[in-house]
Every structure is written in structure tokens, then in C-alpha cells.
Amino acid sequence: MSRMFDLVKQLTELTGPANYEESVQEVLRELWEDRVEELRSDPVGNLYARWGGSGRRVLIGAHADEIGLLVKSVTEDGFLWPTSGTGGSEMNPPASFNVGQRVRVVGDRATLPGTLVTVTGHVATKEQRDRGVPGWKDIFVDVGAADAGELEEAGIRPGCPIAWDVATRRVGNTIVGKAMDDRAALAVMTSLLETIPKEDLRCEVHLVSTVQEELGLVGAIPAAAEGFDAALALDVGLAGDIPPVGMDQFPARLGGGPILGYKDASVHYSREILGELAAVGQKIGVPTQPAVFLQYGSDGAAWIRHGLPAALLAFPTRYTHSPFETVNAGDLLGLRDLIGAWITREK
């Protein structure tokens, strides 16, 4: 339990928005290198590990990138205007990015701490006070710079990422922090390597940590071209166990075990693999929660589109795409044990 928390904390606290996943891939290299037969990266930054075993070629994957903003422009006084870092447009308010959140702005030469801020209290005009939900023209970033020259020195320019700066912590029965999506899944994959002896594998197991999932499953596409027979996409699963949602809308809860995802916004996942996982879970006493997600996608959708049968296997998560994503360590251990039993079973 404690090792799982340490792995989740180590991986979620890294700054790795889309196109800046290197720090995550580097830490994974260190965690994985002594336990796998081969480690390599592809030209777009996906990290692959051939773990071991022989027979059916199985891919287990999760994504390294996290939700983030981008610098849209820099003012002469040294403030930053943000824009979306995950596709989409500015038609909607900046979603989970809110005033008061601590951030890191990653420049070409230095990373600066900052705060997402807006006009407040005494200096706000009546119109600004009445505006309600802050929009893209209300929220900006203050890094405490004296002028634009200091940002120039750090190499901060339009296109630099702005990531949340949050310490991951235990809260009651949960773990709370940013980037559970999808680093908690990378922690599960690391824990698999640390607990399952390679000799027990009954298929040829490969791991992948993909890039740019949050923009539209980008890194998953080259991974699909590697000729695997089956894949598991590990990702956050939507939980309904909070007051404004409800189990009738999202019938999965924290502590209820791994979620078997049957469908998301764009694909139906492999019934065959999901059936195998459900049966394995029953056999080893790990409860699973079947679900369908609507406003949701995973690397598994890209894999199916490119000819690789895939299942979505998720851990229940509250408040997805926020800096307070909330998970349960027991679910992560259950997910690990379920995958472990699936790749070591005699067929």
C-alpha cells in the first residue's frame, strides 16, 4: 500500500504536459530498466519496454502527459495570458483551471513558479465582479517578474506549457493530487514489474508510456503499428459516488475495484478481452465494475482503429481533469492484481 502511494506521488508530481513528457519517461526508464529485457523510445517520445514472456503479444499502456495550459502571450509588464493546452478552443471557460491555483511555467531555459490570478476585491470594477465564471480574458498568470525581460531570460514565450503545481497527499481513504490521469496507471504498471516474476508471464508482455493522449490519442497511433495481438489501455474511470453525480449516472465507486470500460465516446472495447478480465477478477476475488463513458476517450480507441483489439481498464477517479483528482489505493492494487493474474494465467 505504501509503495503504491510512493509511486503515485513520485509520478504525479512530475511536470509533464503534452510535448513535455520527457521527465516522466526518464523516471520510468530508471524504475523499469533493471526489470525488463529492452527499453526504447520512438521518434515522437513514446517509451516502450519489452518485459518478457512468449506467446500472444500483449501491450499494456498508459499515457505520460497531463492536462495543462499554454502561454498565449507575454505582456510588457511580465504577465502571461494562457490558452488551452489540450486542443479545443476558447469558446468554453478554462474548465478546471481556476483562480488561486499554483502553477509551473516551463520555459526553454528555466521553470518558474506562478499563480493563476484575476482582478479581485478592492480593484475589481462592478462589471468584473458581476461577470461570474472567469473566462479566458479574466485569468492570467503572475510569476512575480519585474518585467518581460525576466521571462525572456527564462525562455518563456508563446507555446510554453503551464502545469499545475500540486503536492500529492493522502486524504482519509483516498489519494488526492493532479495527473492521476494517467500517472497512477503508470504507477500500477511499475508495481506490476516490481511484484510479478518475469518467469510467470504466459504471454509476451510489452509496456508503453504514450505521449499526447490528452490532445486526441496521438502517441497511441504509432504504438499500434508494432504488431501486438491484444492491448490494455489503463486510464482514469469516471466515478459516480459524489453528491452531484450519483451512481445512477456513473455506476462505479472508489473502493469498488477496477472498472471494465465497455464503450466510450468513440469505440466499443474488445468484448473478448473484457470478458477474460471479468472472469479472472472473479477467480482471484478482485471485484470489477462494468461501465460506459460518454465524454471520454482513451489510447485504446486509437488502438482499435488501427487494428489492435483493446480493452479499457480503469481505476475509479473523482474530479477528473482537475488538480484534485481523487483515487483509492486499494483500487490501484486491485487493478495491478487483476492485470497480473491475466498475464500469468494458463490458457
**Residue range at the interface with Zn ion (CB under 5 A); choices 99-107, 123-131, 182-190, 277-285:** 182-190
Q: What is the DSSP letter of 155?
A: T
Provide the total of helices (H) and of strands (E) in the chain, helices listed first: 9, 17
Instruction: Give least dist CB 312 to Zn ion, A.
Output: 10
Taking the least distance from each CB to Zn ion, the nearer of 181 and 204 is: 181
Residue 109 has a CB neighbour count (10 Å cut-off) of: 9
x-or-dash string of contact with Zn ion, 227-256, rule CB under 5 A: --------x---------------------
Instruction: Give least dist CB 185 to Zn ion, A.
Output: 8
Cβ 162 vs Cβ 111: under 8 Å? no
C-alpha cell at 59: 501491450
Instruction: Give least dist CB 182 to Zn ion, A.
Output: 4
For 150, the 3-state DSSP assignment is: helix
User: Which residue in 165, 182, 204, 299 binds Zn ion (CB under 5 A)?
Assistant: 182
Instruction: Give least dist CB 299 to Zn ion, A.
Output: 8
C-alpha gyration radius of the chain: 21
Taking the least distance from each CB to Zn ion, the nearer of 165 and 235 is: 235
Taking the least distance from each CB to Zn ion, the nearer of 204 and 299 is: 299
The reply on whether position 204 binds Zn ion by CB under 5 A is no
x-or-dash string of contact with Zn ion, 87-126, rule CB under 5 A: ----------------------------------------
Output the DSSP codes for 188-238. HHHHHHHHS-GGG-SSEEEEEEES--TTTSTTHHHHHTT--SEEEEEEEEE
Taking the least distance from each CB to Zn ion, the nearer of 111 and 326 is: 326
Cα separation of 284 and 286, whole Å?
6
For 287, the 3-state DSSP assignment is: coil
Instruction: Give least dist CB 67 to Zn ion, A.
Output: 9
Cα separation of 338 and 335, whole Å?
5
x-or-dash string of contact with Zn ion, 158-177, rule CB under 5 A: --------------------
Which residues of the shown chain bind Zn ion in the complex (CB under 5 A)?
181-182, 235
